[in-house]
Amino acid sequence: MSAVSLTPRALYEEVAEQLRQRIFRRELEPGSWIDELKIAEEFGISRTPLREALKVLAAEGLVTMKVRRGAYVTEMSEKDLRDVYHLLSLLESDAAGVVARTATPAQRQALQALHDELEACVHDRDQFFAVNERFHMQLLAIADNRWRDQMVADLRKVMKLNRHNSLLKQGRIEDSLQEHRAIMAALLAGDPDATARAMQAHFAHGLEAAG
């Protein structure tokens, strides 16, 4: 039997990632129509892998398929934003409580190292945003629930559709850092309830700044 050669990533997955990044960079604006013919020509592909890619993005909530009108970049309403933050708050505060209760000394140290990075880049907005996301992903990884991880990953993708990133608001980075200090203090004290409450407060303030 001859060996089957598999590519590292299917073509439609690569196309989906390219479109995903264009959406996040606002090269494809929320509410804009996705010109399938133009994009297929640009990528040098047929419409089939492009449509499969759009199905992936639709399942993630980044794209909305409209009958007889094609695909559009999803627009976030105020209710959408509130709903996403609400779910993220529930999921990530639960994860934070788990970490406060079960994390090993090495895992706590890894989170502390990321927090220290966050402290060091308070004047670099882009770096702060990147390290902030790494902190949240590390906390989820330690909590170790793959179903929660998948839900959070999809919700965080949709959250990036928001036109007004909460970290861009005046003073928000400093406030966010203070909230992270409270999370770390409760986590290092091994207090699951206080850690969960601190994470909930973090998301509540983030929503307030994003509105």
pLDDT in tens, 84-111: 999 999 999 999 999 999 999 999 999 9
Tokens standing for 191? 């207090």
Q: Is the pLDDT of residue 163 over 70?
A: no
- pLDDT computed for residue 126 by the predictor: 86
pLDDT given for residue 131 in this prediction: 96
The whole-angstrom separation of Cα 114 and Cα 158 is: 24
User: At residue 207, does pLDDT exceed 80?
Assistant: yes
Q: What is the value of pTM for the model shown? A: 0.82
User: In the chain, what are the domain boundaries?
Assistant: 11-73, 78-210
Check pLDDT > 60 for residue 137: yes
Class of domain 78-210 (CATH, top level): mainly alpha
Integer CA distances (angstroms), 10 to 6, 19, 20, in order: 9, 15, 15
Determine the angle formed by the axes of helices 78-102 and 192-210, rounding to 10 degrees. 160
| Higher pLDDT pick, 64 / 166 | 64
Percent of the chain with pLDDT over 90: 77
Fold adopted by 11-73: Arc Repressor Mutant, subunit A (1.10.10)
Q: Would you state the pLDDT for residue 10?
A: 86
Which residues fall within 8 angstroms of residue 109, CB to CB, at 6 or more apart?
Answer: none
Residues 165-191 have pLDDT tens digits of 566 677 888 999 999 999 999 999 999
CA 90, CA 69: separation in Å to the nearest integer?
Answer: 36
Predicted local distance difference test score (pLDDT) of residue 166: 60
Distance CA 68, CA 63 (A): 15
Q: What is the model's pLDDT at position 4?
A: 46
Q: What's the chain's average pLDDT? A: 91
Q: Is the pLDDT of residue 34 over 80?
A: yes
**Per-residue confidence at 51, pLDDT binned at 50, 70, 90?**
very high
CB contact set of 64 (below 8 Å; sequence gap of 6+) = 58, 71, 72, 73, 74, 75
pLDDT category of residue 161 using cuts at 50, 70 and 90: confident
pLDDT at 204 over 60: yes
DSSP SS3 for 70: strand
